[in-house]
Structure 1
Amino acid sequence: MDTSALKSFAQDSRRYLLDVVANKIDYYLSTDNVEVRAKSRLVDDLKNDIASTSKEQVIEKVAYTWFNRFCALRYMDVKQYSLIGVLSPTSAAHSQPEILVEAKAGHIKEELSNETDRDHVINLLSGKALSKDPQAEAYRRLVIMTCNYYHSIMPFLFEKIDDYTELLMPDDLLSESSIVFKVRHALDEENCNNVEVIGWLYQFYISEKKDEVINRRSVVKKEEIPAATQIFTPSWIVKYLVENSLGALWMLNRPSSNLVSKMEYFIKPESEVTDFLKIKGPEEIKICDPACGSGHMLVYAFDLLFSMYEEDGVDPKEIPSAILKNNLFGIEIDKRAGELAAFALTMKAREKQRRYFSSAVQPMICVLENVSIHDQEIEDYIDNVGRDLFSVQLQNTLRQFEQAENFGSLIIPEVSDVDTVLKSLENSSISGQLFFSNTHQKVLKILKQSVYLKSRYHVLIANPPYMGGKALNPELKLFLLNNFKDTKSDIFASFVARSFNLTMKSGYIAFLTPYVWMFISSYEKLREKILKEKTVTTLVQLEYNSFAPACIPVCAFTIRNCAKANSEGIYIKLSDFRGAELQPIKTLEAISNTLSPWRYTVKSSVFQLLPGIPLVYWLDSSYVGAFAKSDPLSDHGNAVVGLQTGENGRFVRFWFEVNRDAIAFNKSSADEMTSSQRWVPYNKGGDFLKWYGNQLNVVLWENNGNEIKNFKDEKGKLRSRPQNVDLFFKESISWSKISSSSPAFRYYPKGFIFDVAGTSIFPNSKDDYNLILGFCNSSVTISILKAISPTLNFEVGHISSLPIMYTELKKRDFKHVAKLIDVAKQQWDSSEISMDFKYNALLEFIEFKSIRISVEKLSQKIRDSKLEIKRLERINDEILANIYEIKINLEENDAAELKINIREIIIDFISYIVGVVFGRFDYVNSSYMVKKQPSQSAKFEEKGMFNSMLDKDNVVPFVGGGWFSDDVTTMVKKTVNELFGPELHNENIDFIESILGSTLDKYLLKDFYADHIRRYKNRPIYWMFSSPKNTFNALIYLHRYNSDTVSTVLNGYLREFRTKLSIKKENLERLSASGDSSSRDKTAALNEIEQLKKTIVELDEYENDILYPLATQRLEIDLDDGVKVNYQKFGKALKPIKGLDKDEE
């Protein structure tokens, strides 16, 4: 099946039908002619429907109605279930549908029409009836006649067409661009081999709407829930779920059944099951999908049931009707999906039973509808019917369906004996009383829906909606809080909880869900209930990115709805097998081979030994044993979350954005801060980095954090959360709460406030810092931590629960950890974004005067540093492995990890040189040269801070071609010469360019600024003034900016550049007019003149429209506002930075 072609067809068809229907609605609502007046009743119905819902909803409904009908008609044509080809031609040689060809010959099936319709079509085709397009009108009538014929067979899909849907049917049904032609092309014989094509079409039809809703990243409206949550389940997963629930139940009751040979995904229990749900025959089994979508699960269950009936000796001709009458139940909130589910089951029945259409059996698909009955209406109805029947529970039930399309199968009707009540009211004489007729129908609808939701099923199978958090609308959020408190964070988990009382005791439950419920803390109570009160029989955990329809990691699992002490479950782990294609293959391999390395058999009691009860079925028994013989880490250190500012964009900066003298470094408490110090180093988590580092941020803590502590919203509610304040400024061990790989722990010295994402541990004893850091960063601990939190979200609870053999560890020497911290600190501080950066590491080898030799020496130093860390980490791992008696792989040094990026060394060096040019760094004093924000450059001169390397006016032109004596290339080369000397200057520049792979000039003009933005995390400290087409660029240093800087750029550089270009243009004009110039020289001159004209226009516009108005404003900036705010004050004068306006995390 070519699903990509089906997707294009479904999406194109939806857009086409929406457009057609919208145009037709506009026509009928805005036109007053004979044709429209003749259809006034239908037009009035259309207006009323729009008034009661919305125009958009009506358009959507009519569009999908015709899409479903056309697809259904074509499918039946291909399968030859139709009386005559309705969409399909008689053969490939004909283009017109068979039904039209036959009608033109005077043949119309009697079953399809009454005499009036037949005469009308014949008269149109014979010319007796006037029409602008008789064939088109006749064919439209034939399609409507066919739909009305199918109404008696499939009323769920083919409602009687005597309403405005007929008006809104597409006019063009016969051309090659028509919807009929497209349906024929998409639904060819190959695609119609399996009825699941209907499910694929539905998913693809709503896919664009789904993307629109999800990408909005906001509350999902009630009417949008189907589009946001419908996912078509791949066939192999459907087979696994059905075979290990319905199939498993059958095999327990019929252990010698041949059905096992037809179930390739069935996982045979490894131990005997005795307390199973007993059934006498297949007709007893009730299977429900409470979120059935287009019916994929039920369709496959039909196939298995058919084989069961056959085994029991039932006549094959009777089986389809028996299955739909006895076994299969579907519940859905989306009418479209429910229609297609019923249609799919009908097609399965017709496939097996030729005369099924003549039976009166209908698929049992309940599409839940909102039903609202106000209190007085209920009271009046009860008074008329009699109060004996209406218990409090029944009265409450009548109020439970006002939002049925929002809450769906999660509704638990309070009424106890719903079947009895329903039968009694159906037989009541009140149905004939006109005054109560409407109320009576509403009551019956509620009770009929309650039958599905109150029943208990032998087997419950579902791929429920995945939706939680901010996507939940207020009513649904409140409903979950009141009814599913333990699973309120997501609908899928609430469906799992709901399944427990929808399923018989010892019945089977089968689900496909996101796998987060297996691990994270918010689902701990659900796990506990499953492990203690239910029995996990099988589970398949798919590879992280293998379930493309949902774009989230999922698992498929089956549960028996009963507790069994020490029960065993069979688990299959597919995480090592990337790609959707490998998932079924590796599942089958694990099913057929009980010794498969990715198949595990685990007792439920094992999980209950672990903190948080995570289903880490792959965890080695030695790791599990560690919890039994160890203390929790919380006994020896306090793991806590830190400050939530309430608005990081307001209170948090990178340290290099603000005035360095305003930062309170190395303080033991807020009391040590001076009046000029507003900012404190802030541990905000960060990238994977062990031992030391990720010290980039500062937080506003003036007056002991008074502004943050009192940061409230407009209603007076505190937005910030200043928690564990007593631990601020203390040394700690920290980790990033969320990781993309493994967790990494780091030492933080005193002087830091820590963030909610920079969660931290504070050892009870000052002597335990090295011990606990060594323990946390060991391979043993990391393996345990990744097991108890496979979602890579490392909460305080996970860390606190880590099993630490403290007494044994205290006997060991952890001096190697102090060395690891020291080496890691040296690595971190070698970067210029470190708070403790002094100078570029290449300058340690300046005595050699050769940058090439310096790079070689530095490369070796970096390599030695990496090797030393590896050696010390190996010592740490060996200590832990021996104490915990766990085997770990002490891997050899990875050549790739030891590889040195020489280009990055050179780029770092160039960045440092630019910093020297701007006065940010002072190599002589090994410190930051500019600590304050001077109001004018003279202050530098007064302090004797200028030298031959410093750019005096804080403007460095980034313009190639030698137009300026202080352009960036000149200044960089000059500084290299000053630092490394003139002896090897040319060789040094050549070496730099060989590593860059381009000239120094080209790198500086094309790539330097992008590298700078990346290095400084989208908060650059050098700002690029840039004309619209980048002809003119000039860099300034943020910390030397003053209100005259823009004027300096304008007068000292932009205007000077424009003047020089004008002079050159005049010279070229003289050259082009000279009789002494060759034709070739004149042509070249003329071409250059044209380019110069464009450039001058660009510069003039940049000056007049942007730079000059800005210069006159003499803008002041406050460094405390940060780069994001200050940069944007300059608008189009500065080079745009992608993502600069992104909210702070």
Structure 2
Amino acid sequence: MTVLEKSTRNQLDKAVQAARRAATAGADRALRALAVDQEKKPAHLTPEQSELRRRLRVRCRGLGSWQDLVRAVAYEQWHRMLFARFLAENDLLIHPEYHAPVTLEECAEIARDRGLDPWEVAAEYAAGMLPGIFQQDDPLLLLKYAPEDRAALQEILTGIPAETFRTQDALGWTYQFWQTEEKATVNKSGKKIEGADICAVTQLFTEPYMVQFLLQNTLGAWWLDRHPESPLRAEWVYYKDQVQHDFSAFPEKAGDLKILDPACGSGHFLVEAFHMLLAMRQEEGEPLEAAIAGIVRDNLHGLEIDPRCIQIAGFAVAMEAWKAGFPTDEYLPLPNLACVGLPIRAEKEEWLKLAGGDGLLEGELEKYYDLFKNADSLGSLIQIEEGGTLVPGDVLTQKLERALAKEKATGDPVAEAFGETASGVLKAVHYLRKKDFHIVVTNPPFLGYRKQIKILQDYCEQKYPHSNADLATSFFERCNSFVRPYGQYGLVTPQNWLYLTTYEILRTTYLHNQMFGTVARLGANAFETIGGSVVQVALITLANTHPKEESIFLFSDLLATKSTIEKSTELKENFKEIHQKDQLKNPDARIGLDADLSCSKTLDNFCYSAQGIGTTDNPHFVIKFWEIAEINGDWVYFQTANKTNSLIGGYHSLLRWGSEYFDYINLLKSQNRIGGGWQAGRLAWGHKGYAINVTGSKYVTIYSGCKFDTTIGVVIPREERYLAAIYRYITSTEYIDNLLKIDPTLSITEGTLIKVPFDLSYWQKVADEMGPLPEPHSDDPTQWLFKGNIAGSELPLHVAIARMLGYRWPEQPADDPADAFADQDGIVCIPPVWGERPAVELLRSILAAAYGSEWSPRKEEELLRQAGYMKNGGLEGFLRDEFFASHCKLFHHRPFIWQVWDGTKDGFSVLLNYHKLNRRTLEKLIYTYLGNNWISQQKDEVRQEKPGAERRLAAAEALQAKLEQILEGEPPYDIYVRWKPLHEQAVGWEPDLNDGVRMNIRPFMEAGVLRWKPNVKWGKDRGTDPVPNCSGTTERLNDLHFTLAEKRKARENAGRIETESQ
């Protein structure tokens, strides 16, 4: 199998994406040049141009939008050129008169003689073999690009090396690369995935080693069972002869095999199977041409939801047939490929008339109407039942075919590509009904339940209730129904179905009823084009027959391998035998565990676990504890994941629970979002235990007993005497190793945390030797256990400055002596203003009181180094130039001390306690500290002609003007809180601390008056609201602005409605 090298593939990727951009821009310009976007036809158009314009406008209406037309033109124009070059580079571009291959250079010479474009000549020659792809009368292809746009595409195409077009996988890669931009757009939108978007989002070209592994251990295994001495054994490096097979129900000859890929994409599995079958049939002595025709006509079958993709698959199979030696001037059988994504267009009433008044039959026909109406989302998952006891199967089938036969507007894209005609939907139904394939292999679309539209969710819940967590696992079950008894099927699947609790019933069912052949857990980096751990897959082969008592399968765990090269190499040898029946003894029937893991007593005998609360809207309900001045009845502690491997961590958030459940629960009720999730973790609240991160590093911290979120799983011992032993175990490398064996995903469930072996006596002995755990305590100012102590804290300068501004930590003692130094109004100017002491002197006083006899200039230098300040500015330099940036980073970019300045090094700069920064305090800052004092002082210095005074005065007056704009609150210096109705939005500077720093800091950041820019974004938040919000949509948009007039009008209307309702 000749495939693209990584460097060549990357080059092709860049070229195709550049071509999409160039083709799209060229299409838009060409269409506008013909005034296709205008209602009125321009007078200067020729009759031919007018007719083309009319046809293009008709096509636009059929496609649905202008952008759809532009994309369609871009696709057709580029792919005509691309496919022509594929043919030419493989000597398959045949001159219609001389029946000999021509090169693109020769096409260019012929084009010059005939006064045509070279690509028109190439398309004309290619049309004899693929008339549907190279249609001579397609308005999308008749449209002429501007010379510069045509030249840009030609430059891109000629820049692709010739050898690229001679590999087996290049054709498939081109379509995935063409979809890259669309995939990114759809993913970024956050909307549910449906129809054509499914193709863009789930398109993932299967790695060659995966294709070979699955086919060699299904199709190859059958051949070597029949021909154990075949020389093909040496070529099939992934074939495993240890696997037990029963091919008694299979045919003797290769020509009688039926192979299906139900999600065939651009035909990667089909092309590889073609070459394997060709070698087999020739080994059987069949002539080359007859063997090729037989493979295309009888052996290979493919289904695909994307009509363009299925055409490319047909082209790919035909290309391989011609390259293998099938004459280009002879009839090549139509590939058995069908598009299962063609929705029907008939009206329901017309369908139901076919029932002839039979109510039972009408009900069955209505059911299938609804299915095929959504074929572009359901695709191969659609199951055609054979009828029940109420409606005979033959009657239902006859009526269904009569209804589908009327779908004349829905052509078959594969037949059209080869110049033939067929009913696309009827052809799809023919294959969807079949259950007699000997071999099914595929790489199905991966799409989680939450990303699916409701029609897809509902159908999978009905048909595939044990596998519907992902589209790919639903396909796993669907493949089983395509296979005849004793048939073989192999898939690329998400590896998590092998161990997640969600799939326990699926695993149990298949371990009881299907015979596993091979299971290879590949983990991260299995695909060259997807880095990291985005997609983690397994390769699985099974037989559609019950396992025997002694059945074994081969298992390979390649999680530790880091690249596709390593995985493809290890896949050849790195397997161990596992008894299938033993897997049913594993916790949750997890597949692939060692015997020691399945037989040991597990941790769940000694503790239970709990999942946390998922609010569905964290920006609304969750803030950091330092974002409010005092934790009142509206807020409760909310433990989250620990970012470091420390005893205490994740103690920094608050949940807006509300007194007597008022705020959080009542809001969920009003939005119809109430359910068990609001009280998730209730069994753990108030108990002693441990919190373990369920994503990333499995850090362990002491559980606080409070409410907690879904980033941690809480483990509560059933008896307190187990506390120490359990802690020593879950913080050991042995625990992590065992956890990875049963669930190697980045994100695990809380239930998995306690499904590991646990030897209580051993770990109790370890706990006794290591001594008791310390009481919960933290010197980290970002944890709510911190008591506000300056000396002994991890960052004394930050704590001292916060205390200077009057901030108090939640657990701080009431009689703390440092409170005497706190500024009362929360305004501390760094340069002295209004007769106050300079900020640096006040700070030194607090530090001196905190450290007592330890305080000295050397101690001050030590604290500056500890804070990361290595410059020569001393304490004042740190306070003026470095503190605010460091404070923002330390407190998760939700600062509670704000530094406002005028943008000059020697100008006005002030530290503000955000909690005290109400309207009155801001007015005091603007007109007293800044206006009456600093600005007056600068005016005096201007009169005295002091250096820099004019510059400082101008900067201060500009700052005052900006602060006045914030005070007034007209856009863009307004506060907007997306979960509040318009009549509750702040009018001017009226911040509500309960809304959080993110909402309230926006006017100051818009005005550019902060000393450093925190990493705060106001993009769209995840999820949607159940009812429209201020944006007029259900989208969670934050970067909106409303005028004061709009807000006051809303308040008036709200007051009027309230009055009227009384």
Which TM-score band applies after superposition, normalised by the shorter structure?
A: 0.7 to 0.9
| Aligned position for 1:1020 | 895
| Aligned position for 2:741 | 787
Alpha carbons 2:81, 2:119 under 8 Å: kept: no
Equivalent of 2:145, from 170, 175, 189? 170
Structural mapping, 1:610-649, within 5 Å: 610-615=586-591, 617=592, 619-626=593-600, 630=601, 633=604, 636-641=606-611, 643=613, 647-649=617-619
| Aligned position for 1:99 | 107
Deviation at 1:639, TM superposition (A): 3.2
Q: Does structure 1 residue 321 correspond to structure 2 residue 293?
A: yes
Alpha carbons 1:469, 1:490 under 8 Å: kept: yes
Q: Does structure 1 residue 73 correspond to structure 2 residue 84?
A: yes
Alpha carbons 1:397, 1:415 under 8 Å: kept: no
Alpha carbons 1:253, 1:279 under 8 Å: kept: no
Whichever residue aligns with residue 51 of structure 1, its letter is R
| Aligned position for 1:710 | 666
Q: Does structure 1 residue 8 correspond to structure 2 residue 14?
A: yes
SS at match of 1:795: coil
Cα 1:919–1:170 change in 2 (3 A) is closer
Q: Does structure 1 residue 820 correspond to structure 2 residue 773?
A: yes
Deviation at 1:723, TM superposition (A): 3.3
1:848-894 deviation line (CA, Å, top 9, x unaligned): xxxxxxxxxxxxxxxxxxxxxxxxxxxxxxxxxxxxxxxxxxxxxxx
| Aligned position for 2:959 | 1099
Deviation at 1:78, TM superposition (A): 1.8
Cα 1:277–1:711 change in 2 (3 A) is same
Alpha carbons 1:1019, 1:1140 under 8 Å: kept: no
| Aligned position for 1:956 | 828
Q: Does structure 1 residue 199 correspond to structure 2 residue 199?
A: no
Deviation at 1:918, TM superposition (A): 2.6
Cα 1:640–1:312 change in 2 (3 A) is same
| Aligned position for 2:153 | 179
Whichever residue aligns with residue 560 of structure 1, its letter is A
Cα 1:706–1:380 change in 2 (3 A) is closer
| Aligned position for 2:264 | 292
Structural mapping, 1:1032-1071, within 5 Å: 1032-1041=908-917, 1043-1051=919-927, 1053-1055=929-931, 1056-1059=933-936
Q: Does structure 1 residue 987 correspond to structure 2 residue 876?
A: no
1:936-961 deviation line (CA, Å, top 9, x unaligned): xxxxxxxx9775x54455323356x9
Deviation at 1:259, TM superposition (A): 0.6
1:715-751 deviation line (CA, Å, top 9, x unaligned): 65536744379757522314246221225252435xx
Cα 1:24–1:801 change in 2 (3 A) is same
Whichever residue aligns with residue 446 of structure 1, its letter is V
Equivalent of 2:515, from 495, 512, 535? 535
Equivalent of 1:303, from 257, 272, 275? 275
Counting matched residue pairs gives 966
SS at match of 1:464: coil
Equivalent of 2:373, from 399, 402, 424? 402
| Aligned position for 1:658 | 628
Structural mapping, 1:486-565, within 5 Å: 486-550=466-530, 551-565=534-548
| Aligned position for 2:983 | none
| Aligned position for 2:425 | 446
1:685-712 deviation line (CA, Å, top 9, x unaligned): 5445565543333445554324434333
Q: Does structure 1 residue 331 correspond to structure 2 residue 310?
A: no
Alpha carbons 1:733, 1:746 under 8 Å: kept: yes
Whichever residue aligns with residue 488 of structure 2, its letter is Y
Deviation at 1:423, TM superposition (A): 13
Deviation at 1:242, TM superposition (A): 2.1
Deviation at 1:499, TM superposition (A): 0.3
Cα 1:922–1:47 change in 2 (3 A) is closer
Whichever residue aligns with residue 412 of structure 1, its letter is Q
Give TM-score scaled by structure 1 length. Answer: 0.75
Equivalent of 1:351, from 305, 315, 323? 323
Whichever residue aligns with residue 258 of structure 1, its letter is P
Deviation at 1:1118, TM superposition (A): 5.1
Structural mapping, 1:566-605, within 5 Å: 566-588=550-572, 591=573, 596=574, 599-605=575-581
Whichever residue aligns with residue 911 of structure 1, its letter is H
Which consecutive residues of structure 1, in runs of 5 or more, have no partner in the other structure?
106-120, 122-134, 664-676, 845-904, 931-943, 1070-1084
1 CA distance for matches of 2:170 and 2:857? 70
Q: Does structure 1 residue 833 correspond to structure 2 residue 782?
A: yes
Equivalent of 1:741, from 697, 705, 711? 697
2 CA distance for matches of 1:320 and 1:517? 38
Deviation at 1:208, TM superposition (A): 0.6
Alpha carbons 2:348, 2:369 under 8 Å: kept: no
Alpha carbons 2:92, 2:328 under 8 Å: kept: no
Cα 1:309–1:356 change in 2 (3 A) is farther
Deviation at 1:523, TM superposition (A): 2.2
Equivalent of 2:585, from 602, 606, 609? 609
1 CA distance for matches of 2:844 and 2:747? 48
1:311-362 deviation line (CA, Å, top 9, x unaligned): 1112234332222112111211212211211111111111111513422423
Alpha carbons 1:325, 1:361 under 8 Å: kept: yes
2 CA distance for matches of 1:409 and 1:726? 42
1 CA distance for matches of 2:611 and 2:861? 51
Alpha carbons 2:902, 2:908 under 8 Å: kept: yes
Structural mapping, 1:717-1116, within 5 Å: 718=674, 721-723=677-679, 727=683, 730-736=686-692, 738-742=694-698, 744=700, 746-748=702-704, 752-755=706-709, 757-799=711-753, 801-804=755-758, 808=761, 819-822=772-775, 825-826=776-777, 829-838=778-787, 840=789, 842-843=791-792, 905=794, 908-920=795-807, 927=813, 947=820, 949-951=821-823, 953-958=825-830, 966-980=837-851, 985-993=856-864, 996-999=869-872, 1000=874, 1001-1027=876-902, 1032-1041=908-917, 1043-1051=919-927, 1053-1055=929-931, 1056-1059=933-936, 1095=955, 1098-1099=958-959, 1101-1103=961-963, 1105-1106=965-966
Cα 1:587–1:172 change in 2 (3 A) is same
Deviation at 1:978, TM superposition (A): 4.6
Deviation at 1:24, TM superposition (A): 3.1
1 CA distance for matches of 2:994 and 2:376? 51
1:1073-1106 deviation line (CA, Å, top 9, x unaligned): xxxxxxxxxxxx7xx6896587456435435544
Larger Rg: 1
Deviation at 1:497, TM superposition (A): 0.8
Alpha carbons 2:95, 2:125 under 8 Å: kept: no
| Aligned position for 1:46 | 56
SS at match of 1:485: coil
Whichever residue aligns with residue 68 of structure 1, its letter is H
Aligned-pair identity in percent equals 20
Deviation at 1:409, TM superposition (A): 0.9
2 CA distance for matches of 1:800 and 1:436? 55
Alpha carbons 1:251, 1:257 under 8 Å: kept: yes
Cα 1:1131–1:438 change in 2 (3 A) is closer
Whichever residue aligns with residue 453 of structure 2, its letter is N
Which consecutive residues of structure 2, in runs of 5 or more, have no partner in the other structure?
413-420, 975-985, 1024-1062
Cα 1:958–1:477 change in 2 (3 A) is farther
Moved more, 252-261 or 1045-1054: 1045-1054
Whichever residue aligns with residue 927 of structure 1, its letter is P
| Aligned position for 1:411 | 382
SS at match of 1:1019: coil
Deviation at 1:576, TM superposition (A): 1.9
Alpha carbons 2:519, 2:555 under 8 Å: kept: yes
1:959-1008 deviation line (CA, Å, top 9, x unaligned): 6x999974544444454445446897333334445563223444444432
